Amino acid sequence: MKENIHPEYKIGNITCSCGHSFQVHGTMGDQRIEICSECHPFYTGKQKLVDTMPLLYVIQKEKYMLINMILFQLLKNQSYGPSRFLEEWLVYLKQ
């Protein structure tokens, strides 16, 4: 290995904004951080879970309303015979 090209490897203190501090080996030395494993909600067990199922139901409802609206417009149009309607509907479903 070449000499004098590698950074100095030293012990540094990491201090969180919550007051928790610990030592690490690294090239940067002392550091201040905003959040650590002692105060992060995921690691402390204080994380709140958000229920997203109602949002999924709304999205599905809008999707099926759009499909029904397209079907109604296709059926209302007199130029579509039953066979042409089925062909277009199959093309739409394959997308």
- DSSP structural state of residue 6: S
> What's the pLDDT at 80?
57
Q: In this predicted model, what pLDDT tens digit does every residue of 32-78 receive, in sequence order? A: 988 888 888 776 777 666 666 677 788 888 888 888 777 777 777 65
Length of the chain: 95
- Pick 18 or 80 by higher pLDDT: 18
pTM of the model: 0.41
Tell me the two tokens of residue 87: 């062909």
Task: Give all strands of the β-sheet with 31-33 in edge-to-edge order.
Answer: 21-26, 10-16, 31-33
